[in-house]
Structure 1
Amino acid sequence: MVQPTRTVLTGARVVLPGGVVDSGRVTVEDTRIAGAGTDAERAPQGGAGPDRSGDATRNQSGDATRSQSGDATRDQSGDATRDQSGAEVLDQSGAEVLDLSGCWVVPGFIDMHVHGGGGGSFSAGSPEEALTAARTHREHGTTTMLASTVTGDLDDLARQAAVLSELVEQGELAGVHFEGPFISPHRCGAHQPSLLRAPDPADVRKLLDAARGTARMMTLAPELPGGLESVRLLADHGVLAAVGHTDSGYEAALEAVEAGATVATHLFNAMPALLHREPGPVAALLEDERVTIELINDGTHLHPAVLQLAFHRAGADRVAFITDAMGAAGMSDGRYPLGPMEVEVKGGVARISDGPTAGSIAGSTLTLDLAFRRAVTVDGLSIEQTVRALSATPARVLGIADRVGSLEPGKDADLVVLGEDFRIRGVMRRGHWVVRPELG
């Protein structure tokens, strides 16, 4: 079926910036959201007439009428037609109406930190692999994502950045995130220890230049030589400086924030633990209102009580759920590459298979739809909190909240349809169905 230029979603519980709207309505025109509200606002009770959004309404006989814009909404018999999925097609105007009763409609998810998926990796230096990873996560509701690299030789990272920057320019990705090599050897996790280095500002600048203006974030350990100077360099260039894979203490983390760091890379993971006499970077990053907290909500990286602690202290406006997913996301157990290292996945948990860091957790196999479902069914978060952590907060941090992150008129038509069990039923990106809802 040809994608219509106008799609109307009705009957669902729609999560808007002001809260949840029962029997909600979202209208999409081409690639943009044209309206969002309640079905009750469509027309005056008991008669025909256009609604305030300009969408087609029905007269007392039940036939479709013309919209305020004058678009025809009936076929030659005067009735709307239906396609094979049961969607009502207002054929003369090219619009379709999907009844999503029993479903949720939420903004498209935004992942600030993802390394791969579907067997593809953003670190492979291959546009085909990068697109495979991007498509995999889109099918799970992530309509906007940064492409995260993993520690490697500087020249290799520069080549990877050049490939990824082209996909950013084509609109496939939202930017590049460098995770490593400027991280602590004491907290390297799934990064190759022999390739780590201190964050010399000249090396940092080399990677920024290779990304040709598409670098959006860099994770580094600020306690290393050149760390604070590099944080300032990143801030001056409009690139998010993220504190992560760090062995810093409380005071060093505060200094990094004062220098311009605004993101905590997967808080709690790959950094000193929160102790009552040594609060470390966790306390410093949690308490500062300028810092956005990344959390990996897969049930492996964080205990639910720790996640609740972060939410209670920082609030959903400062929490961004991420996947930190590697190539095995959306795939079965097995062995997969992660940069220059090899990862073995067992029971959905990825760990380094060989070498000095063998056994270390190596990112995740998470997709953000799973993080959503876990948040509301296991962690006890509200729908509104979860949506902010998956959409509005990362959009704000990345500076793209004028285009994505919420269902508001004028923004990109990026949305996710979830069933009552919070499983994916449909995914729309820029007005086109990535996963089309199956109805009826």
Structure 2
Amino acid sequence: MTRLSGKIVTPSGIVTGSLSVEDGRIAAITPGKADTEQWIVPGFVDIHTHGGGGHTFTTGDADAAREVAAFHRGHGTTTVLASLVSSPFELMRDATVAYRPLVEEGVLGGIHFEGPYLAELRCGAQNPAYLRDPSTAEIAELIKLGEGAVRMMTIAPERAGALDAIGLLVAEGVVAAIGHTDASYEQALAGISAGATVATHLFNGMRPIHHREPGPILALLGAAQIAVELVADGFHLHDGTLAFAARSAGPDRTLLVTDAMAAAGMPDGEYELGGQAVVVAGRLARLARDGSIAGSTLTMDAAFRQAVGAGLTISDVVRATSTTPAAVLGLDGDRGSLEVGKRADVVTLSPSFEVTSVVTA
């Protein structure tokens, strides 16, 4: 039996005492005197990650995927989706086949396709050469090949066939997300009505807000069924925007993601994302061709610290890094919070929220 002592962040509040782990499960949470001042939180759940530690998910290479997952696990992420960027269908298909065994093994929590059914005008760091209208035939084939491994897909709802694609995803138990979109307010609402439940990195890769044409951001932020991804790296969002969005959505609809690419945890320099050259300087990744932000160099522990610094409470940050993303994926019955009987995916943090240990089931 493993016993951890400190300030335990549970769904019902912060408990000072000890947490016991036995046979990969949380066996007990016992109030009492703590041996240390450390924080004990559930393992982070990152539903939007492209790479890290010098490796990438975007090429469909299983060995590289293992390295990415291991890198982020060292930063407290115990469940991670392998996010691909816009690609030819052949790569999407090959990646699904390559990653399915890793999902079955538990190395990955699933696959997330960010594209290629996105808007050219809001492509950001997505390769415009691969953007196209949604194909329900392609989506159906990927879902069938994945045998449960495909967990989420990001779509621009204004593209031809997008609403049918969203409906197919939802019918097959796959999370439909809205992102990289130039949709009007009404088009975004149509995507929500079709069954979308996630906003991919809210504000980024979206038509901006205007008081006479609110666009997709206000539609997504105002929809009770939409969980909003926020990239808390200090670059994608000003801390004031981060705090405003988190307050507006509330803790049950706020989730932090890294959107990390291969350069996370690596020195500044030249990298690649979806066949495009990326230059990283001062932790900020940008496309060499036009300076667009190209993912991030963020880890979830750093996102945790950024969110606390922006004024979010510890309990709400735990929900945003673990509980809410687990619920979005339908995994909250087994992980995402510290409760007796759940998987022992546990992270200990120093008083300054640095990772000191990671326990995984």
TM-score by length of 2: 0.98
User: How much has 1:203 moved relative to structure 2?
Assistant: 2.1
| Pairing of 1:280-295 with structure 2 (within 5 A) | 280-295=215-230
Q: What residue number does 1:226 align with?
A: 161
Q: Which has the higher helix share?
A: 2
Alignment partner of 1:293: what SS?
strand
The higher-RCO structure (CA 8 Å, 6+ apart) is: 2
Which portions of structure 1, spanning 4 or more consecutive aligned residues, are displaced by more than 4 angstroms?
none
- 1:331-354 deviation per Cα after TM superposition (whole angstroms, max 9, x unaligned): 111112212222111111111113
**Larger Rg over CA atoms:** 1
Q: What residue number does 2:321 align with?
A: 390
Worse overlay, 248-257 or 207-216:
207-216
User: How much has 1:100 moved relative to structure 2?
Assistant: 4.8
| Pairing of 1:267-286 with structure 2 (within 5 A) | 267-286=202-221
Q: Is the 8 A contact 2:26 2:339 kept in 1?
A: yes
Q: Is the 8 A contact 2:125 2:292 kept in 1?
A: yes
| Pairing of 1:199-214 with structure 2 (within 5 A) | 199-214=134-149
Q: What residue number does 1:348 align with?
A: 283
Alignment partner of 2:260: what SS?
coil
Give the distance between the partners of 2:246 and 2:296, measured in 1 at CA.
Answer: 21
Give the distance between the partners of 1:165 and 1:343, measured in 2 at CA.
Answer: 28
2:79 pairs with 1:144: yes
Equivalenced residues, count: 361
2:361 pairs with 1:426: no
User: How much has 1:275 moved relative to structure 2?
Assistant: 1.5
Q: What residue number does 1:368 align with?
A: 300
Give the distance between the partners of 1:120 and 1:210, measured in 2 at CA.
Answer: 24
* 2:302 partner amino acid: L
Give the distance between the partners of 1:148 and 1:240, measured in 2 at CA.
Answer: 13
2:17 pairs with 1:18: no
Where do 5+ consecutive residues of structure 1 fail to align?
A: 1-5, 41-98, 431-440
Q: What residue number does 1:435 align with?
A: none
| Pairing of 1:176-215 with structure 2 (within 5 A) | 176-215=111-150
| Pairing of 1:43-82 with structure 2 (within 5 A) | none
User: How much has 1:371 moved relative to structure 2?
Assistant: 0.6
Backbone CA RMSD of aligned residues: 1.1
Q: What residue number does 2:60 align with?
A: 125
- Specify which of 336, 341, 344 is matched with residue 271 of structure 2: 336
Alignment partner of 1:113: what SS?
strand
- Specify which of 173, 183, 189 is matched with residue 248 of structure 1: 183
Where do 5+ consecutive residues of structure 2 fail to align?
A: none
Q: Is the 8 A contact 1:152 1:340 kept in 2?
A: no
* 2:8 partner amino acid: V
Give the distance between the partners of 2:341 and 2:188, measured in 1 at CA.
Answer: 39
Give the distance between the partners of 2:223 and 2:38, measured in 1 at CA.
Answer: 37
- 1:72-129 deviation per Cα after TM superposition (whole angstroms, max 9, x unaligned): xxxxxxxxxxxxxxxxxxxxxxxxxxx7511110111000100110111111221111
User: How much has 1:224 moved relative to structure 2?
Assistant: 0.4
Give the distance between the partners of 2:4 and 2:261, measured in 1 at CA.
Answer: 34
Q: Is the 8 A contact 2:157 2:187 kept in 1?
A: yes
Alignment partner of 1:27: what SS?
strand
Percent identity reads 49
Give the distance between the partners of 2:81 and 2:331, measured in 1 at CA.
Answer: 12
Worse overlay, 271-280 or 289-298:
271-280
